[in-house]
Structures are given as structure tokens and as C-alpha cells.
Structure 1
Amino acid sequence: MVAANLGNVAQTNSYFSFFGLGATIIIGYFFMLTPSFFISPGLVGIVFGAQDTKAIRRGTMYNALMQFAFAFIPAILGMCTFAVFPHLATQDLALPTAMKELLPFWASAIALAAVFAAEISTADAVLYMLTTSLTNDIFKTFVKPKTTDIELLKMSRVVTFVAGILGIGMSLILPNIITALSIFYTLMSVSLTAPLLFGLFSTRPSAAAASVGVTLILTFGVQIKPFGVLNAQSTGMIVSLIIMAIMMYAFPARAFKDGKREVEMVSKP
């Protein structure tokens, strides 16, 4: 039915091809989404709150298996919707149409709940990250180190409220949820992947190196696209790794200069 709707052998082959999106888009999604699953504030918080390393490994493995299985479900639903309703006005109507016309009521209810859960989970992670970064990592660290817990709590509430209002405003401006998620995951992956990876396995990286790296790669990714099949996200990710590697060797952290060569890993028995 899909082939009949397309009416062209070349388009049909491209539609069913695993690499039909093209190298640029596939590589861009890989660099944008892959790091986001291990640098996500929600996941990192759960990992640090786990009982022991065994629970972390098992939980991460089960989560990865569920994510892998779920990745195919929306694509299959989209293909089924295109086969039955080839003349939809926009692609954004594929999932609502499938839930309304193709799925039984109970399955549609579960799918709708899954969509809301994913959106709320993402919003929760963004608010958690913004509030923690602005209040604890920036304000308390650099602006007012002697901030009390009560003051920090009050400021966290204000930051969360303001961030929520700004998020609602952006949702009214941006064309769809995919654009919003792409902006969030791109900024998070490009700016945090290199500092986190190098910081986990070496004592060389410093806060200054991470700050310089983030500033340079965001500017680089927006203004320059030097590599053929690599888009801004892919270019920014590669450049961030290179800059971080250079900075950690050119300007190592004080702990490394003091003779500390290994990162301490504390785990419960």
C-alpha cells in the first residue's frame, strides 16, 4: 500500500531504506540523541540515588531495552497511517490519526498517556536542570557563596516559576514539539558531553576549560559548517571533544597538578 501511494520505485526504495533520511540527518540525530541519554539530569540523578552499582547496571540495561523497543513503535504507526491515509495535510497529524482511526480505544489511551508522560518527563528534566544550574552551580558558587538553604529554596521556586512561564511562551512560538526537543537535546549534548566524559575518566579537566569549550563550540556550531555531511550539531560535538582535549592538556586542573591522577569512584557494597 505504501508503494502504491508513492507511485515511484525510487521513492519507495528510499522510503523503506534504513538510510533513507540521508547521512547528514542520521549523523546529526546520532550526535544529538546518543549522548543525551547518559548526560540527562534525570538519569544522572537516578544513578547517583541508586542502591549500588549492580542496581545501576540492571536498571540502565532494562531502560535501554525498553527505549530500543519503543523506538520502532512510532515509526511503524507512522508507516501504517501513511498506508491508510496517504493524503494527510501534515506529518504531525499521523500519530493523532492513527490513535483515532486505527487503534482500539484501550491502545489509544495508553499511547496518549505515553505521549503526555514523555512530554512531562522532558519538561521536568529541563526545569530540574535549569533550577539546579542557576541557583546552586552559578548563583551559590560564583555570586553569593554564603547563601543559606532557605534563600536557595526561595530562589529555586522563583527560577522554576519563571522557567515554566518561558517554556509556555516558547511552546506558543515554536512550530512543533520536535523542534523544541531538538533545541533542548542539541544544546545539552553539544555543551555537556565533552566535560562529562573527560571529567569522569580524568582529573585533568578544569571548570575553566569546560566553560571556554562550551562558549567556543556554541559559537562555532552556529556560525560555521566546515565538514560536508556534518550539520551544526555534529560539527559542534566533534569540535567540543577536540577543544576539551586541548584545554585539559594545555591548562590542567589544580588537582592534576597536585599529583592526583585518578578519579575517585565511590560505590556502595
Structure 2
Amino acid sequence: MSQYMSIGKVSKLKNVSIKSLRYYDQIGILKPAFVNTETNYRYYTKDQLYLLDAITVCIRLGIPLKDLNNYVEGASINLQKLLYDGKILAEQKILDIHNCLATLQETLQNMASPVTGLAKIPESKSGILLPEGFYHNEIVTRRMLTVPLEEMDVPKYYGQHILKLFVTAQQLGTVVAYPSGVLHEYRDGKYQRHMFLTITGDAPPATESEQTVRTISKGDFACRRISTHVTDIETIREEMKEVIRSDDFCVIETDTLSEENKKDGYPFELEYLLSS
């Protein structure tokens, strides 16, 4: 029985009520791996925890509990359909959040300068003069939950990775939020991209998150707005060549979450740390 976990242990481990786990069993979306016929106790395997995480995320995204049995086909659950519907809901929530944040951003801009309606760009503490097209931005320390991107991962697939980050955050017991973006890193002649969401909850245990959590130190960043996502090292170098100072570098591409920037055709921002 060492390979099994009791319903009580799963409930505590994943913060899901025993009543909910029994309901998932009843409607067929998460059947116990083993049921003791004498005690009627339910037991689960570790592999089933990933399915529970996916179900929990989809419920948080807005799929009603009463509709979960729509995903049951025969003796198993159509996990692909459940995750696809969860992805659609996540993308709609992303759009709603972007619209809300854009409204807040525009309000803050109007409060910052009643004459122009533009927010004042913070003065640089580094004293470094930037080329035309760049601006300084003092940014606080950020913790990011990341997932690596392959060469084939073009922007139209980014939504899938964002959903994966939400599931990973659930597994690690933390909370992530927008803005999302991509870390572009060039180290020792190798170019890598990582999709990220910003961690707003408690830091995950170091042993569980060593490969997924990144910390970007606060500092003075050279920034410029761009019109589309960047997917290759040549474009990054071309866009940031006037400020990059070393062969190895990290450039952060982030969504500005500003409706005004979207209207102007430059919804994304590239950031390069000048000094911390």
C-alpha cells in the first residue's frame, strides 16, 4: 500500500476538501486508484495528483463543478478537452485583466500629468544617457515562474505555456499573475527563451523550484517599446544593440498591459538592466 495515499492525505496535500474528492469520484472525473472493499476507504497514486491539479485550475478559471461530468467518456475523463476549455477561459480572463489594468494605467497617467495625460518616466539613478528611442525605468525586484520555450514555440502557442505556468504554480503552492513575458538569455554562446508569469504569492520551496523560479534584481533598466513579440537572438541584438554592454546578457520582454500602448501599436517592452 506504500504506493497509495489516503483521501485524507490527498486532501491536506492539495488543499481540496474530502467532500470534493468524493464528488469527483461520484461523477467519474477522478476515480480512486484503489478502494478498500471492507472499509470503503479511497486511495490515490502520486500520478493522479497532476490530474487533480489540472481539475483544480480549471475550476478556478470558471468551469462549474456541475459541468465536470460533461468531460467523462466511458470510464475515463477527456483531459484534453477539459484543458482546452480551461485554456479558452484563461485567455478570456487574460483579456479581461488586460482591459482592467489598461483602465487603471490610463487613470494613473491622467493623475500623473493633467496637461499631457502621460505618466512621468522616473529619473535615472545610474546617470547613464540613453540613445534615442530608449527610456529609463526604475523597476523593483521581481520573482518569476518560468517555463523553457523551444525554437518551434512561436507566439501563437504562448497561451498554452501560460496555462502550464498556472498549473505549475498550483503544484508549488504559490500564486502567479500578469504581466507575462519572455526572458531572452544569451550565455556562453547559447540562446534560450523562457516564458514567465510574475509570482505574487509566497516563494515556493527552493528544492522544488530551483529550475523554474527566477529573481530579477531591482535597478535602472534601459527600456524601449516594440510592436510584436521577439523570437530570435538576431532581433534582440538589433533592437538592443545600443545598450547591451557584454557578450552575455539577459533581456526581458514584457506585456505593458496598457490599452494606450496597444492603440499606438507598441504593446510590448524590452528591458535591459543597466545598474542595480
TM-score normalised by length of structure 1: 0.25
Query: Which structure features the higher share of helix residues?
Result: 1
Q: Which has the higher contact order (CA 8 A, sep 6+)?
A: 1
Query: Which structure features the higher share of strand residues?
Result: 2
